[in-house]
Structure 1
């Protein structure tokens, strides 16, 4: 059962109030914000940054892949340029279409293969490092997932284990399972839910923890935050970054990279294919230790 508009509004207000309080406690350097390069079809839902921070792959929710060059000054993001853009292919080698093209998450495996998670037709496609047709990996609970609340967060550990979690729903009160694939699916742990926050992206940090990008929506804008958790166990997690309502767009993708001793998080916003909304990259510096 979906939440009523009033209940959803109350939940979002509570979430945003906690976000503003968190801004005072977690204050990394100001975010670097750059527009997605033209031509921009919008709908960008996932991002992966190269280990040196010089390149990125972005995935849109209409089955497009864009390869980009990132410009920096002193490590700080200053711009992005488009290298190439092409539709994602299915196992049959043909471009994805219709409900099957709703790509939402990306992770690069240690051998160079690229995994992409999909929402409306829930599955993961794993693309060879040298291009070509992908292999299909079935996902757990596929038959029971809400078509618009599927696996948006996708991450890979250095040993090649894939981790994924679904977006969740504002009606839910219990935790969301973090699934791990290392030849078979297993529940690695449960991720505690917090009011109106929904999971939108994920990545594994150099500390081996999973960093989860979450968003809260209040009618005309979004607030975002990142929490991190051990991939196993029952720890409550830590808040490592948050934005106040309306500061950024609908941030969905998350990718971490290490610039010397500095840990940076690159995010991309989904403008929902609306010309008046922002389609941009946001990069922040994450604190190493909050305890």
Structure 2
């Protein structure tokens, strides 16, 4: 998401340097790594996928750039992230995606090794068999046309059946709930909704290796960014057993927008998140990790 208010961003940046306390419900903060790189395409990260037991990253910029990186760790801390490749996210005709057409926000890794990417601007989800490949755009139902231009598919996740779940950042049902759109390989449906709580908005989602559905949310105010992580069991009757894993105070982290839930070498459940620096010098790309309870 491109934050609209310069006043909000400036205030957030002033507070970002002074980490606030985390209102941790169940999760434990393991560490935060500030990732720097000199390339002009580096930044604006809106999605992340952790690979190779925490030693690899796939990250997506909201300016239609896909990046792979190798991660070095000392204990639980990330100490280095090295870019090993970067590619443009292309159209179905193999062209670059400029401006709002290329506002890529969510990523979900397909069982066949490809990936799905969700977009704002022109609200859609597309499949890519490999980095740098042409897009195969999924059908777009009429409901997508009602989404706000800068508030649609920030969050995208895939379950163990290969079904996709896409959540708009701002659009709500008549009852104020968060609609969840599911693609089962043939059609889109809205199988369930999630409760919206407070001023937090969905920015990323993932199905963890435990089978539960995780949702990263963000709240923005004149005093900065806050983050919250919730999870549910998804059953035949929809979501249940909602848990708030953490909720941060303002300025604890930068503008967290990407989420990946995975298990480390010790079989512990982790959440890795990445921030969108909005390509502003005073913000930072931050990779944040939490230990989660099973």
In the alignment, structure 1 residue 231 sits paired with structure 2 residue 234: yes
Give the aligned partner of residue 50 of structure 2: 49
Give the 3-state SS of the residue equivalent to 1:230 in structure 2.
strand
Whole-Å Cα distance in 2 between the matches of residues 66 and 249 of structure 1? Answer: 20
Are the aligned partners of 2:50 and 2:57 in contact in 1 as well (CA < 8 Å)? yes
**Which deviates more from structure 2 when the two are superposed, residues 31-40 or residues 155-164?**
31-40
Whole-Å Cα distance in 2 between the matches of residues 127 and 75 of structure 1? Answer: 32
Are the aligned partners of 2:47 and 2:107 in contact in 1 as well (CA < 8 Å)? yes
Whole-Å Cα distance in 2 between the matches of residues 100 and 135 of structure 1? Answer: 15
Give the aligned partner of residue 166 of structure 2: 164
In the alignment, structure 1 residue 267 sits paired with structure 2 residue 273: yes
Quick one: structure 1 residues 277 and 173, their matched pair in 2 at CA, closer, same or farther if it must change by over 3 Å? farther
Give the aligned partner of residue 34 of structure 2: 34
Whole-Å Cα distance in 1 between the matches of residues 123 and 89 of structure 2? Answer: 15
The count of corresponding residues between Structure 1 and Structure 2 is 271
Give the aligned partner of residue 152 of structure 1: 154
Quick one: structure 1 residues 188 and 230, their matched pair in 2 at CA, closer, same or farther if it must change by over 3 Å? farther
**Larger strand fraction of residues:** 2
Question: Cα distance, 1:274 vs. partner?
Answer: 1.2
In the alignment, structure 1 residue 184 sits paired with structure 2 residue 187: yes
Whole-Å Cα distance in 1 between the matches of residues 100 and 254 of structure 2? Answer: 24
**Which deviates more from structure 2 when the two are superposed, residues 171-180 or residues 147-156?**
171-180
**Which deviates more from structure 2 when the two are superposed, residues 166-175 or residues 186-195?**
166-175
Structure 1: unaligned runs, 5 residues or longer: 9-19
Are the aligned partners of 2:24 and 2:247 in contact in 1 as well (CA < 8 Å)? no
Question: Cα distance, 1:22 vs. partner?
Answer: 7.7
Give the aligned partner of residue 215 of structure 2: 212
TM-score where L is the length of structure 2: 0.85
Whole-Å Cα distance in 1 between the matches of residues 189 and 171 of structure 2? Answer: 22
Question: Cα distance, 1:32 vs. partner?
Answer: 3.1
Structure 2 residue corresponding to 1:203, chosen from 203, 206, 213: 206
Give the aligned partner of residue 243 of structure 1: 248
Deviations 1:226-274 (A, max 9, x none): 0002234252611012221101111000011111321111111011121
**Which deviates more from structure 2 when the two are superposed, residues 169-178 or residues 153-162?**
169-178
Structure 2: unaligned runs, 5 residues or longer: 9-19
Are the aligned partners of 1:45 and 1:105 in contact in 2 as well (CA < 8 Å)? yes
TM-score where L is the length of structure 1: 0.86
Question: Cα distance, 1:38 vs. partner?
Answer: 3.5
Whole-Å Cα distance in 2 between the matches of residues 97 and 254 of structure 1? Answer: 25
Are the aligned partners of 1:127 and 1:134 in contact in 2 as well (CA < 8 Å)? yes
**Which deviates more from structure 2 when the two are superposed, residues 80-89 or residues 231-240?**
231-240
Give the aligned partner of residue 256 of structure 1: 261
